[in-house]
Amino acid sequence: MDNTARALSALHALDPGCAREQWVRIGMAAKAAGLSLQDFTDWSSDAANFSGERDCAKFWRSIKDGPVTAATLYSLAVAAGWTDVSKSRQNDRSKHPPPPAARPATPARQQVIPKQADKSVATLWDRCAPADYTHPYIVAKGGRPDGLRVVGADDTTSIAGQQVAGWLVVPARSPDGELRTLQLIPPPGTGKKLNMPGASFGDGLFVLGALAQSARVFIVEGIGQAWACARVTDCAAVVCFGAGRMSAVAALLRRRSPALPLVLVPDRGKEAQAAAIARDVRGEWVELPEDMPANYDANDFAADHGADELAELLDKPKAPARRYRVLTAGDLLNTPPLRWLVRGVLPAQGLACMYGASGSGKSFLALDLCAAVAEGEEWFGCRVSATRVVYLALEGEFGFRQRLHAWQVHQGREVPAGLRFIIQAFDLRSPEDLAELADAVTASGGPDGLLIIDTLNRASVGADENSGRDMGEIIDAAKLLQTRLGGAVLLIHHSGKDQTKGLRGHSSLNAALDAALEVRREGDRREWVIAKSKDDGDGTAHPFRLEAVEVGTDEHGDAMTSCAVVPEARQTEFRRVLPPKSGNQAVVWNALGEILRRTGEARPKDAPERLPFGRPAVTLERAIVGLRERLAVDPKRKTERVQQALTGLQAKGLIVIDGGYVWTA
């Protein structure tokens, strides 16, 4: 909530019908808080002792800087029961980091505090007679007398020095029907509306029509606008008794009826206020023609243009931008197609990850990918859209410089100008680091481009990757960074000890990704595959090798080398198979994983040649012994069932059985 909205909220928590001395003090505090003369006049006009706009303007111009400050306004409001929503929101933000697609802050809802009506209110109301269609104000506005009364011709009541005999009386009632105060309206041309002195509107309002059965509910300032809106639409209308109370009444209706379709109809010049209220209460608002004077209202519009044009205007209210938009099938089909940085591999927007075991070559591959994106060159046969790339290199500055040199030597050209680097330490979970990184990337021309974070572990030092809470914080921070920058953020990460289970750490990371590339290595053979894609990918494995490149000599004259990525010509289909979820195969699959993890990565002396380097393996006999007790079957058939399950897993391509050993594929 900005300072103006906060000050308005505080001002409207105060009673404008207070003593003149207090009214002056509130005005001085309101001006010090940055409010305008119009804001102060709107608030003052709700009081029975309102002396007019000229009096407000004269006083406003006389205000000088002095001891009364904005703090006075907030102090008075708090004493009157006002809640400073902005402080509670600031405290919440200090305790919790903001979410990645945070919604814009909305104006605080003005609080309305029910108060018992002054006895004079009920006394006057009881003395009044029911209104009829002959009252001059009803005749002039084309209204109806339902729920209204008239002060008797012989009544001697005087308000603000004026006799009110014959005036129309509009009751302000709570939503439950309790009388709060009265508004008195003179015949046209004989004076201004007055409110009962000493009484507060509180949660009072006047309802025209049935709220629950109405297709729309119009919220208006006065009874004349309510008549006009109800007359041309057959919908309910609610009188809030002045622009200063529109926020409070709208919030009250929304709290009591979350699904009520609210439409605010402000007087001309108060559209911005109505739009802010509509955003706060999930409602809509109507705007009158721009060329009309201030305070021109719906009733004036109907008199000038007729009922049909007013009905058409009210039928097309404006709606604030909402977080969720409900689409038709046609809307969805007409949305722009998905944009790619690397066709079918890396989307132009979102959060992605490239992962693999240590030594798989993922950092070399990431650098090669970045260079291709920076200059728009085809990558592994995939079409590429050129964009700015910023590479956050957090592991081994010297080694990374060697890789960069090797790329240039291998390619025979300079690194693309669109590829930039950052090598300072960075913590994703630090709001300061995140903000400064976003600023640096923006200043370099990198928004809506590609940001690489290599590696995720170095960008979240001290976090427990297996903790759902810690991983949630990491994901939120990465998504917030992507939201601030636009474009795509690519995380470089490690696979788990059991490489068949994908990314290392909590499963929420994979769920949060828009795309993922897995880098695999078996001996000297390397390949990358699409592990997750927005269009499900093509399942193709893309083999590559790392070619040694000499990049100079050290101080002793010895050659220094690094590697460059070289795509292999052959491609093999990679069939993604999901692990079994039930039955004996699921039990055996999960138990086998535990056995292999306990075995470790030491290669058995008599292991078959096709066992990949670093892949845990166990003898088939030992596996069967360890798996037998996991199956809830007849003890006499346990060995048979284990063998059947292992055969099934091998047929699915999930495990390999060879030379008396078993390991995961």
Mean pLDDT, residues 124-146 taken together: 94
Longest dimension (CA), the chain: 117
> What is the percentage of the chain residues whose pLDDT exceeds 90?
39
How far is the C-alpha of 364 from the C-alpha of 528, rounded, in Å?
12
- Whether 50 has a pLDDT exceeding 90, the answer reads no
Res 97: pLDDT: 46
Q: Which of the pair, 598 or 17, is modelled with greater confidence?
A: 598
Res 1: pLDDT: 47
How far is the C-alpha of 280 from the C-alpha of 247, rounded, in Å?
9
In terms of C-beta density within 10 A (0-12 exposed, 13-18 middle, 19 or more buried), how is residue 559 classed? exposed
Q: Which of the pair, 525 or 179, is modelled with greater confidence?
A: 179
Mean pLDDT, residues 622-644 taken together: 89
Tens of pLDDT along 520-550?
987 778 899 888 886 655 457 789 989 888 8
> What token pair was written down for 1?
């909530």
Task: With H, G, I as helix, E, B as strand and everything else as coil, classify residue 382.
Answer: strand
> What token pair was written down for 317?
């209210």
Please give the CATH topology (third level) of the domain spanning 340-573: Rossmann fold (3.40.50)
Res 535: pLDDT: 62
Q: Write the DSSP symbol of residue 254.
A: H
How far is the C-alpha of 26 from the C-alpha of 69, rounded, in Å?
10
User: For the ranges 249-253, 393-397, 410-414, 609-613, which has the lowest average pLDDT?
Assistant: 609-613
Q: Edge-to-edge strands of the sheet including 149-150?
A: 129-130, 149-150, 168-173, 179-185, 194-195
Nearest to residue 228, comparing CAs of 169, 141, 335, 165?
A: 141
Res 103: pLDDT: 36
Tens of pLDDT along 217-245?
999 999 999 999 999 999 999 999 988 88
Tens of pLDDT along 395-413?
766 678 888 999 999 999 8
Res 556: pLDDT: 83
Mean pLDDT, residues 612-622 taken together: 82
Average pLDDT of the chain, as a whole number: 85
Res 104: pLDDT: 37
Q: Which of the pair, 91 or 160, is modelled with greater confidence?
A: 160
Res 656: pLDDT: 87
Question: pLDDT class for 304, splitting at 50, 70, 90?
Answer: very high
Nearest 5°: the CA angle 514, 516, 520 is: 175
Q: Which of the pair, 20 or 117, is modelled with greater confidence?
A: 20
What is the helix (H) or strand (E) element at residue 544, kind and residue range? strand 540-553
Domain at 583-664: CATH code: 1.10.10
Asked whether the whole model's pTM tops 0.85, one would answer no
- Whether 312 has a pLDDT exceeding 70, the answer reads yes
Q: Write the DSSP symbol of residue 384.
A: B
The set of long-range contacts for 647-656, using a CB threshold of 8 Å and a minimum separation of 24, is 648/585, 649/580, 649/585, 649/588, 649/589, 649/592, 652/577, 652/580, 653/575, 653/577, 654/500, 654/577, 654/579, 654/589, 655/592, 656/610, 656/611
Tens of pLDDT along 483-505?
889 899 999 998 877 766 678 88
Question: pLDDT class for 48, splitting at 50, 70, 90?
Answer: low
Q: Which of the pair, 66 or 629, is modelled with greater confidence?
A: 629
> What is the percentage of the chain residues whose pLDDT exceeds 70?
90
> What token pair was written down for 22?
């207090």
Give residue limits of the domains in the chain: 3-95, 119-314, 340-573, 583-664
CA distances from 284 to 56, 250, 431, 641 (A): 31, 11, 35, 66
User: For the ranges 109-113, 459-463, 626-630, which has the lowest average pLDDT?
Assistant: 109-113
Highest mean pLDDT among 4-18, 448-462, 494-508: 448-462
Whether the CB-CB separation of 318 and 286 falls below 8 Å is answered with: yes
Q: Which of the pair, 486 or 67, is modelled with greater confidence?
A: 486
Res 272: pLDDT: 87
Nearest to residue 251, comparing CAs of 47, 85, 16?
A: 85
- HSE of 86, CA atoms in CB hemisphere, 13 A: 13
Q: Strand pairing of 540-553 and 572-573? A: antiparallel
How far is the C-alpha of 174 from the C-alpha of 181, rounded, in Å?
10
- HSE of 560, CA atoms in CB hemisphere, 13 A: 15
Res 577: pLDDT: 60
Question: pLDDT class for 365, splitting at 50, 70, 90?
Answer: very high
Res 204: pLDDT: 92
Q: Edge-to-edge strands of the sheet including 618-619?
A: 618-619, 661-664, 655-658
Res 398: pLDDT: 66
Phi, psi of 657 (to 5 degrees): -115, 115
CATH of the domain spanning 119-314, picked from 3.40.630.30, 3.40.50.2300, 3.40.1360.10, 3.30.300.180: 3.40.1360.10
Question: pLDDT class for 369, splitting at 50, 70, 90?
Answer: very high
Task: With H, G, I as helix, E, B as strand and everything else as coil, classify residue 1.
Answer: coil
Res 499: pLDDT: 65
Res 109: pLDDT: 41
Q: Write the DSSP symbol of residue 540.
A: E
- Whether 159 has a pLDDT exceeding 60, the answer reads yes
